[in-house]
Chains A and B, each alone.
Chain A
Amino acid sequence: MSTVKKTNGTGEKPVKAPKTAVAAALNADSTTSGNIPAEDLRDDNNDQAPGVRRRDFIHIATVSFAGVGAAAVAMPIISQMSASADVRALASIDYDTSEIDPGMAVKISWRKQPVFIRNLTPAEIEAANKVDVGALRDPQTLADRTKPGKENWLITLGVCTHLGCVPLGAAAGEVKGEYGGYFCPCHGSHYDTAARIRKGPAPTNLVVPEFAFISDTVVKIG
């Protein structure tokens, strides 16, 4: 890039005589600095194999040590970005389902996402079981999506598998779609009474989160 020409001090003061040994060393020209003979700065031992120097070990050890140190420091810097303890503490929730009558559903928030808990009526269960599973886009039976003995409790994420909208059909009075389950108003995905995709662009059924009944009425999600 730019070349600064060495000027011999139009603006520089004349160099004064050094007062101390330190000043002498600072002002000395680099070619004559120090009193160590050049051959003492080399450490090549003639009795070693050619190309291998004793100092290689020091170099490798130093770089390795620094590398391990850097990796150790990187660990907290990377892991601080993972979910913190307070976020993880809310990763699973308990919900008492005793208030939900057959035919009703609730929308609750789990991991900042909506979850639908639906108490299916016998007619809805029958409708879900009548479907030819093999003909479905995402073949699953109602039993696959519920717990044994609790087939009436359909618990799914309220997140459309198409582009993540929240489908309608959980609250009273909302459109339930052509198959009586859920209907996503964004791009017209219809889900049936087992929350399986039946019509529209969504690729898969509404996701069933990990859940378990920890008592007769209380369900633990997550």
Chain B
Amino acid sequence: MSFPWAQEYKPQGTVSKWVDERLPLPRLVYNAVGAGYPVPRNLNYFWNFGVLAGVALVIQIVTGIVLAMHYYASIDGAFNSVEHIMRDVNAGWFLRYAHMNGASFFFIVVYIHIFRGLFYGSYKAPREMIWLLGVTIFLLMMATAFMGYVLPWGQMSFWGAQVITGFFSAIPLVGEPLRQWLLGGFAPDQAALNRFFSLHYLMPFVIAGVIILHIWALHIPGSSNPTGVSIKGEQDTVPFHPYYTAKDGFGLGIFLIFFVAVTFFAPNMLGHPDNYIPANPLSTPAHIVPEWYFLPFYAILKAFTVDFGIPFTGIIIVPAKLMGVLAMFGSILLLFFLPWLDTSPVRSGHYRPLFRKFFWFGLIPSLIVLTYCGGKPPYTQWVVLSQIAAAYYFAHFLIILPIVSRIERPLPLPNSITEAVTGKPLETAAA
């Protein structure tokens, strides 16, 4: 590992020595999430959420694989096969509810993980690559979740697929052919359902692969910490095992309590009743809404109601629909540029008084407003609110952060993690 004081893997038994010489996989695990990985001693509970996201992915893969043993990807049979899982398959109701709510909980922990990174500046040098891979994982998760939601072939499945693939038709010239290529037809149908099932099964494994890269990239500089101060000596760290395996284990227990509570007692709380109506291409639900984790982006999409063009000439350069689609994708793609938009050398929001104000009183409220408005019908008051919130969201990253980074006077940083924790200076002689 990157720190010279990291504990070395010492296989004890004959078998483990034999394995280590031929395939040092236990050594890899030891160095990745075992005692061989030195971690800052001051991590708070926000640092649990990476591991929790990993657990959520495992829950999704395990429940998903067994659900696929009973699911039938056909426009005539898909809805009934899901009902068959719910009513007839042994423990099927539990597996499906766990998979359904597992998706929501995956997004909950990933959103907290992302906000941890945003507040503590985890995206800054030398951890940009971890952040870029993380945004990639987020995009893959969104694609996977969308395709999974289509599979039960209920009303929301069908009309969600109609609306989301409709985004592509906003692209000039190639949009409509592209949409028809993605769907394999003129509207969501058998071809679309089948390929969505195929890709929904594939994508989690792609995500798992990118997660390996994400963790690999993390292990080069090592974990960040709430002070944002780099590790300066052995005293600043503790081995991942047993210290953080224990802390993550405790956090996992809390996470699972919430997860099973919702799965058992309010399994449909986060879903939409309309998806228990079989898909009907000739009748739309009164109000098409995506799952809650897409609502902020849906609100941005709907916030663009006016064509962008030359005033008083009637010449339209970018129609409103395309603007909305570009803004929605842009709101996520913009995160790729974050490490270079926020140029402040101070990582942690604790030591950035101005940044912290914009974070808590700007970014977080704007996302709450967007989430709320995304679920509302597009009446004027909600549209205006989402326009204000969307404008703030973009301004926060593109204007406020670069300016704040330049004008802000950060608070004095502790000399080391050890000093921040114990108040005593780090014994540099030991390092």
Show the binding face of A for B, using Cβ within 8 Å.
1-2, 4, 7, 10-11, 81-84, 87, 91, 107, 109, 111-114, 158, 160, 163-166, 185-187, 201, 203
Contact = CB atoms under 8 A, between A and B. Distances in A.
A128 B405 CA distance: 60
Say whether chain A's binding surface is mostly helix, strand, loop, or mixed: loop
B187 A82 contact: no
Contacts of B162: 164
Given A2-B24, A4-B21, A111 B284 contact: no
A82 B184 contact: yes
A187 B284 CA distance: 12
B21 A2 contact: no
B410 interface: no
Contacts of A112: 185-189, 281
Contacts of B31: 1-2
Nearest to A108: B282
A107 B282 contact: yes
Contact of A87 (B28, B191, B195, B377): B191
Contacts of A10: 17
Contact of B378 (A2, A84, A166, A201): A201
Contact of B377 (A83, A111, A160, A187): A187
Contacts of A81: 181-182, 184, 191, 195
A83 B186 contact: yes
Given A1-B31, A83-B191, A109 B184 contact: no
A10 B18 CA distance: 10
Contacts, number: 87
B185 A111 contact: yes
Contacts of B305: 201
Contacts of B281: 109, 112-114
B42 interface: no
A81 B305 CA distance: 33
Contact of B28 (A1, A160, A165, A201): A1
Contacts of B27: 2, 4
A112 B187 CA distance: 6
Contacts of B14: 11
Contacts of A84: 184, 191
6 contacts: A4-B27, A11-B14, A82-B184, A112-B281, A163-B163, A187-B378
B321 interface: yes
A87 B186 contact: yes
B284 A203 contact: no
A166 B283 contact: yes
Interface in B390-412: none
Contacts of A11: 14, 17-18, 21
B151 interface: no
Interface string B246-277: 00000000000000000000000000000000
Interface in B1-54: 1, 9, 14, 17-18, 20-21, 24, 27-28, 31
A164 B159 contact: yes
B354 to A, nearest CB: 40
A164 B284 contact: yes
Given A2-B24, A165-B284, 8 more contacts: A2-B27, A4-B21, A81-B184, A84-B191, A112-B185, A112-B189, A112-B281, A160-B284
B185 A83 contact: yes
Contacts of B109: none
A112 B162 CA distance: 11
Contacts of A107: 282
Nearest to B380: A201
B24 A83 contact: no
B186 A7 contact: no
Nearest to A83: B185
Nearest to A185: B286
B117 to A, nearest CB: 24
A130 B162 CA distance: 36
Nearest to B166: A164
Contacts of B1: 1
A7 B21 contact: yes
A201 B180 CA distance: 26
Among A112, A160, A164, which residue has the most Cβ atoms of chain B within 10 A?
A: A112
B137 to A, nearest CB: 22
A17 B189 CA distance: 68
A91 B321 CA distance: 26
A163 B320 CA distance: 13
Contacts of A4: 20-21, 24, 27
Given A82-B180, A164-B162, A186 B28 contact: no
B20 A113 contact: no
Among B166, B184, B185, B378, which residue has the most Cβ atoms of chain A within 10 A?
A: B185
Contacts of A165: 284, 286, 288
A107 B281 CA distance: 12
B287 interface: yes
Nearest to B32: A1
Interface string B175-205: 0000011101111110100010000000000
A111 B176 CA distance: 14
Interface string B87-126: 0000000000000000000000000000000000000000
Contacts of B9: 2
B21 A203 contact: no
Contacts of B321: 203
Contacts of B320: 203
Nearest to A112: B187
Nearest to B187: A112
Contacts of B180: 82-83
Among A1, A10, A201, which residue has the most Cβ atoms of chain B within 10 A?
A: A1
Closest 6 CB pairs of A and B: A111-B186, A112-B187, A165-B284, A87-B185, A2-B27, A114-B282
B241 to A, nearest CB: 16
